[in-house]
Structure 1
Amino acid sequence: MTTSLKIDFVSDIACPWCAVGLGGLEQALENLLGQVDAHISFQPFELNPAMGPEGQDMTEHLTQKYGSTPEQQAQIRETIRARGAEVGFSFKPEGRGRIWNTFDAHRLLHWAGELGLDKQYALKKELLTAYHGRAENVSDAEVLVRACRTVGLDEARAREILGSDEYALAVRENELQWQQAGISSVPAVIVNRQYLISGGQPVAAYEDALRRIASEIAQAN
């Protein structure tokens, strides 16, 4: 019997562990094909909501925020790169160089979600690749429009949204909703608005959790 699951993937484009986590979740769902039928929607979370349009040097930002040294940061970056490779995500080896604001990216993801979960999924993947794989500035309108064009979304409509404050309130409200629900770090995988899987877990951890959740839901029904 196949169990249908609604998954809210709460994350930020700027979060490398979100790219790792999504890859792990995808592989886990592939392994559970025939047992679990998952519908994934992406929910907004900003790691750095006050980040200005000029961005910030990566090393400077991580030192200020976490107190880590450049050497520690390089080690963590290598760990993330290796974890990404395990799930098919390629990080730019030398890192991104700068941190960028992601609010406009979340506005476009909200719009894409209204067009269909498949459209939102494709845009999310492209934005993660643009930011972490190619070190592009995802606060730049041209980068965002190009991402939309790449996944087949209407370029003119994307420009219209970026030139306005459309979806700004919706994104803010969604962010607040998840914060009030207790989400303070990402990725956070919420299954059927009832179960939480925290962090960029290995494939086996996602698989075990989803199998257990699906079994509990099936028994309850």
Structure 2
Amino acid sequence: MKPSIKIDFVSDIACPWCAVGLGNLENAMLELQDRVNFELHFRPFELNPNMPKGGQDTIEHLTQKYGMSEEQVRENQSQIRARAIETGFNFHPEGRKRVYNTFDCHRLLDWAAKEYSPSQQLTLKKELLNTYFCLAVDLEDHTNLLEAVSRAGLDLQRAQEVLNGDEFFNEVRDEEKIYTNLGIHSVPSIILNDQYLLQGAQPPESFIQAFESLINQTT
């Protein structure tokens, strides 16, 4: 019987490195799928919880947040895009236009986890990342979120109900508190079997090494 590895992927839709990290994680999981069962869950983290409605211009936001010049920001974004393409995320060549609050995205992901399955939550996660980084459209526009839901094969009417109301509000807030109370202040943060923490967009080799170490502990 194959051992199981639980993966809690703490991340935000607004985080480009989370897309890179997820792509690398999937490649590592694919490499070892014959030896271990993976249980992947996405946990909420908001990089910009206080972002006002309408968001902020991306370049303006990043220069203010990191104290870099516009040229440095654009070069950094270009490097991230190259890394993302390697993992299967074809980021828009002009980049995302604005930075938004992502709370509704996290509510939809919590809905997908609770009313569907981890695999369908993964599909929705990837479609939301594609919406923001590849299509580079407005995350506050529910039409764009519902199109991601549709591409993920989930129920559009039910998703609309979630977005129009306050379902999963408390659940997402409670989960966010769990991970910030654990000391997580940057993403992606990947927790294996509730014990081991990997941070940042690790290469597939790092994930494989960690997985093999856990497999060896069970044999």
Give TM-score, length-normalised by structure 1. Answer: 0.95
Q: Report if the CA contact (8 A) 1:24-1:203 is conserved.
A: yes
Q: Report if the CA contact (8 A) 1:43-1:174 is conserved.
A: yes
Deviations 1:60-116 (A, max 9, x none): 101111111111111111211111122222111111121011000100100000121
For 2:145, the aligned partner's letter is: L
CA distance in 1, matches of 2:142, 2:88: 27
Which segments of 5 or more consecutive residues in structure 2 lack a partner in the other structure?
Answer: none
Q: Report if the CA contact (8 A) 2:21-2:200 is conserved.
A: yes
Secondary structure at 2:101 match in 1: coil
Q: Which moved more, 1:36-45 or 1:207-216?
A: 207-216
Q: Report if the CA contact (8 A) 2:27-2:204 is conserved.
A: yes
CA distance in 1, matches of 2:15, 2:176: 15
Please state how far the C-alpha of 1:35 moved relative to its aligned partner: 2.0
Q: Report if the CA contact (8 A) 1:195-1:213 is conserved.
A: no
Deviations 1:101-156 (A, max 9, x none): 10001001000001211221110010000100110112211111111122121111
Q: Report if the CA contact (8 A) 2:97-2:137 is conserved.
A: no
The structure 1 segments of at least 4 consecutive aligned residues displaced by more than 6 Å after TM superposition are none
CA distance in 2, matches of 1:89, 1:155: 24
In the alignment, what sits opposite 1:6? 6
Secondary structure at 1:8 match in 2: strand
Aligned residues: 218
Secondary structure at 2:77 match in 1: helix
Please state how far the C-alpha of 1:19 moved relative to its aligned partner: 0.2
Q: Report if the CA contact (8 A) 1:103-1:139 is conserved.
A: no
- RMSD (Å), alpha carbons: 1.2
Secondary structure at 2:139 match in 1: coil
In the alignment, what sits opposite 1:84? 84
In the alignment, what sits opposite 2:187? 186
For 1:17, the aligned partner's letter is: W
Give TM-score, length-normalised by structure 2. Answer: 0.96
Which segments of 5 or more consecutive residues in structure 1 lack a partner in the other structure?
Answer: none
Secondary structure at 1:93 match in 2: coil
Secondary structure at 2:83 match in 1: helix
In the alignment, what sits opposite 1:142? 143
CA distance in 2, matches of 1:151, 1:40: 17
CA distance in 1, matches of 2:18, 2:165: 28
- Percent identical residues: 49
For 2:68, the aligned partner's letter is: S
Q: Report if the CA contact (8 A) 1:105-1:139 is conserved.
A: no
